[in-house]
Structures are given as structure tokens and as C-alpha cells.
Amino acid sequence: MSKILVTGGLGYIGSHVVVELQSNGFDVLIIDDLSNSSEQTLDEISKITSIKPSFFKIDLKNKLLVKEFFKNQSQIDGVIHFAASKSVGVSLIDPIQYYENNIISLINLLLEIEKLESPKLIFSSSCAIYGQVENLPITENSPSKNIRSPYANTKKISEEIIMDLSKSNNSFNSIVLRYFNAIGSHKSAKIGENSVNKPQNLVPLITRTAIGVYDELTIYGNDYSTPDGTPIRDYIHVVDLARAHVKAINHLIEQKNTKNFDVFNLGTGKGTSVLEIIKLFEKISGLKLNYTFSSRRPGDVESAYADSTKANKILGWVPEFSLLDGLLSAWEWEQNIHR
């Protein structure tokens, strides 16, 4: 049984990855500082999989604690790194906190991963590193330019750090996964997007408005050069994303990689506007959302959707769930936690 460390494993995407790993026979360790997650998620994971993963409350910025953790662990076969701050808007307000948290934590982790007998890393990156591209869909070779936020820049810098380490150490194997917009929840409705802080992503804002947590939903910008004036994104089910991580770590464990650093987009290849998402949610829920338009939000791009052909061919990963599946499961999750 391979042992996998998942940092940020109690967060939204991380918890779904833990479930998929355990369902595929992996032994999972979780590190999380609980800054935007809850320890209760451990119990929900164990209800789904009948296995409670080992949990360690550690701030990865603390170099000594990270060092001590690895010293006390037996063989770790791979690391999947999610632990990072992820709000575009907050990063514009407090950029130094984002650089400190996202970069220093990665460096402290890499210093210990490199010492492992066979170091393997799956890194959680973002389509935000592309900025606003000229040609769609976005491929892994689309140029990164005009990056719009410190958050996106931390992801770009992190990728470069991992790439440089891979160049200097041939035994260090890594895969960078660039996500587009994750939505939805596990079919059990026991885990989902339930951040401690106010969410910045569209779908949880929609569901929380629908359930009455917020009085209204703000749409940032209706003057973009899109069919309805609102931004277009590629929305992918979180379980599809989670399964891509299992594919990626197996790819490294089974030594199927032909190079020790590689990058993959994870998306559906279909762009959907903010208004289209809202209208679809209203249709499936039977509710009318109270929303207003505001000026464009700093850091946002107009349109972004993926070409995931590379992940399809090399990792054997293909999204299985539809946009409708994602919205339905997100709404079921929201209703479940407010029962």
C-alpha cells in the first residue's frame, strides 16, 4: 500500500482527493493548518470511505515543524500539495501574505521531499497563471503573460521553483496540474466547498445566496466582450479533478513518466458565462436568485477554458461529470449542511 501525504487535505479539493486516494487503496496522511478548513471534515471522510486518515495540524511555514514531521514518518511514496491561500481578490489587498504563505510553505516542503528515497510531487496549480490569453482554448503551451494577481503569480513562481528543482535533481519527479474552475461535491453530500472564510468562487456564492446566507449575489462585470457581457469560465466537477490526482500519482509511482517534470491542464474544454450558470441553477433549483451587477473585479480575466488533450492522452484522464451534475451536487451539499 503506497503512502501519500496530502497537504491542505481538509480543504475543498484536497478532501475529495483524499476520498479518491483511499477508495483506490492508498494510505493517506493529511497536513492542514485549519486556517480555511475544519477538522470535522476528517469524520466526514471516514464516513464515506470507512477509513479515518492520519491528521497532523501543521503550518507549513514553520520549517522546524515540517522537518520534524518528515523525520518521524516512515516511507512516504508521494506528496500532493494543496496547502495555499487561493483568493485572487484578497491577494490584491494583501500580496505579501500570499507570497509568504504560498512560497515559503512550498520551499519548506520541497526541502524535505527531496530527501525521500524516491521523491514524487503533484502540485496544485491554476489556470490563473495564463492571464488573459489571445487564443482559446488554453493549452499547456499558451504563453503566461499579463498575470492579473499576486495569487496567480505565486502559482507561477511555485511552478518555476519545482521545475528548477527537477532540473537539478533527476530523481525528483513532479507533475503540475493546472485547474480550471472546480464546482460540485461528493455524491454523498458529506464533503463540499465549505470554506471558513467567505467564498470567492461563483457556485458557492450562488448556493449560499439561494439558501439565504447572503441577501444577494454580486456579478462583477457585465460589459465584457462575451455574448452576454459576463466572464466565461471552464467549470469542472471536483470529483473529476480528484480522480485526475489519482491518475497523476499513479503515473509517477508506476514510472510511466518520460520526463521528471510535466504540466497538465484539467478542464472540460467548454466555456460557460456567469449568467448562463445562474440561469441553469435557477432552472434546476426552481428558485429565483437575487443578483446585481457591479464593476469588473480586479484580477479577473474575460474568458478562459481548457484544452485538456494532453491529460486525456498521457494520464488517461477524461472528465465524466457534466455542468448540470456539478451544480446539482453543489446544491445538494448546501442544503445538507443547512438542515
Helix (H, G, I), strand (E, B) or coil at 265: strand
DSSP codes joined into one string, 150-180: HHHHHHHHHHHHHHHHHHH-TT-EEEEEEE-
Helix then strand then coil, in percent of the chain rounded to 5, is 40, 20, 40
125 strand-pairing partners: 178
Choose among 285, 305, 97, 273: nearest CA to 197.
97
Contact of 178 with 307, CB cutoff 8 Å = no
| CA gap 125, 110 in Å, rounded | 16
DSSP codes joined into one string, 109-146: HHHHHTTSSS-EEEEEEEGGGG-S-SSSSBPTTS---S
**What are the Cα distances from residue 129, in Å, to 51, 79, 176, 238?**
36, 22, 12, 20
Catalytic residue of the set 98, 151, 179, 220? 151
Kindly give, in sequence order, each residue whose CB lies less than 8 Å from that of residue 73, ignoring residues fewer than 6 positions away.
5, 29
Q: Indicate if 305 belongs to the active site.
A: no
Show which residues are catalytic.
Answer: 151
